[in-house]
Amino acid sequence: MATTLVIVGKSLKINKPFLDYIDSQVYLHVKTPNIKIYLDKNDNNLFENLEKIISESEQTILMTSSESFNLIGKIISTLNEDVLELKEGMLVPSKTIEQKNKSYLLMYKNKKINIIEAKENEKLPQILLTSQEESTMFSLIGLDEDSTKILLEPLADTYEIKLTSTSVIEGWSYIEATTYKYGNLEKFLLSVKSLFPDKFIQDGNILTHIVESLKDSHQTLSVAESCTGGQIASMITGISGSSEVFNGSIVSYSNDIKKAWLGVSDETFKNYGAVSELCIREMMEGILKASSSDFALATSGIAGPNGGTSSKPVGTVFVGARAKNGEILVERVLIKGDRKYIQIQSCYHALRLLLHVGKDVFFKK
């Protein structure tokens, strides 16, 4: 069921970290909303705008700032020809059908509306809406988006599944599979896994999959980062349970630290530079010696906007992954975008290589 997320209150709109937290919690309940709209409580047309949004939506989450919460309740009550009542210490419309602390659910013309007070620096109240569609997310590693569509669409038609795919990076497709009324999602996923046993990862969160797979195999990971500045470590440690598998990281931003902490040689800097395959190989060697991990990742590149040359333009990044007793992969990639995008894409390229060098761990038959 299509969901519209409405953010009411300018204080929420300008708070990027809190917005990211809201988005993550909404995703757990309704996946990605079809529409996200920002409204100001001082908007002269707030009533009309809300009426239009709700009327055109299948279901709506109204995420309001503290100062907008009661105002929105009054507007919804008026719209629904209702009155506010004090229930469990909170003013809510009398037609409320479910209520939790600072969150309540009601119907308007057979459409569900969940009104929530979102207060900065506090835990978000419970979201009372859920997705009515049966859907799941999965990844295919080593296939481009065009090939993914060509190979999967006939299979999806067989099981009455709707597919939406996107390219995380080149060679990594992320797909949402949603059932039609009589679709069979379970059989579709089994067929995809059978078709691509060494490319298919069903877990919607690839980082969770990496952590859980390492835990199951009793193996560990460490990271040596330069241009990504610790972002891979942050992504991994954002997953519950990562302390069992993630030994640590070295953010070796300067060449002096690469040399002193990771053992990158003066000859490598002189002859090849920090942004090079040999530097990545030595960074991984150094982090494995320091951590005694089973797997290592490394990144070094030019995130920009300055620092590029004709031979190594902005966006040139070397990424590597190594299994302690096995394969080593290093790739040079050229990423287009601003500094932040180059950094995050570099992380995903490194994670892609980790999946390849640890294929026996991450792609289970």
Non-local CB neighbours of 281 within 8 Å, separated by 6+ positions = 320, 328, 330
- 150-189 pLDDT tens trace: 999 999 999 999 999 999 999 999 999 998 778 899 999 9
Q: Do 50 and 37 touch, CB atoms closer than 8 A?
A: no
- 321-343 pLDDT tens trace: 999 988 999 999 999 999 999 99
Are 184 and 257 part of one and the same domain? no
- Count of the separate structural domains present in the chain: 3
Domain span at residue 108 reads 3-117
CATH for 327: 3.90.950.20
Tokens coding 229:
């500045």
Q: What is the pLDDT of residue 34?
A: 86
Q: What is the pLDDT of residue 143?
A: 87
Which of 186, 201, 216 marks a domain boundary? Answer: 201
> What is the side-by-side order of every strand in the sheet holding 161-169?
161-169, 172-179, 135-141, 200-201
Tokens coding 36:
């996200």
Are 62 and 108 part of one and the same domain? yes
Helix (H, G, I), strand (E, B) or coil at 218: coil
| Residue 36 pLDDT greater than 90, yes or no | yes
Residue 323 lies in a domain: yes
User: What spatial distance separates the first Cα and last Cα of the chain, rounded to whole Å?
Assistant: 34
Tokens coding 73:
């309740």
Q: How many CB atoms lie within 10 A of CB 218?
A: 9
Are 300 and 358 part of one and the same domain? yes
Residue 128 lies in a domain: no
H helices within the chain, ranges in order?
Answer: 10-13, 16-30, 46-56, 66-79, 145-158, 185-195, 206-217, 231-237, 255-262, 266-271, 277-291, 339-357, 359-362
CATH for 167: 3.30.70
Are 145 and 21 part of one and the same domain? no
192-to-169, 173, 177, 205, 213 alpha-carbon distances in Å: 20, 13, 11, 18, 20
Q: Do 43 and 10 touch, CB atoms closer than 8 A?
A: no
Non-local CB neighbours of 269 within 8 Å, separated by 6+ positions = 255, 258, 259, 279
Q: How far apart are CA 180 and CA 235, in angstroms?
A: 34
Are 251 and 332 part of one and the same domain? yes
H helices within 113-230, ranges in order?
Answer: 145-158, 185-195, 206-217
Are 334 and 262 part of one and the same domain? yes
Are 310 and 330 part of one and the same domain? yes
Arithmetic mean of pLDDT over the chain? 95
Are 150 and 76 part of one and the same domain? no
| Residue 251 pLDDT greater than 90, yes or no | yes
Q: What is the pLDDT of residue 155?
A: 94
| Residue 236 pLDDT greater than 70, yes or no | yes
Are 180 and 211 part of one and the same domain? no
For the whole model, what pTM was predicted? 0.89
Q: How far apart are CA 157 and CA 180, in angstroms?
A: 10
| Residue 42 pLDDT greater than 80, yes or no | yes
| Residue 298 pLDDT greater than 70, yes or no | yes
Q: How far apart are CA 37 and CA 352, in angstroms?
A: 34
Residue 122 lies in a domain: no
- 254-283 pLDDT tens trace: 999 999 999 999 999 999 999 999 999 999
CATH for 41: 3.40.980.10
Residue 125 lies in a domain: no
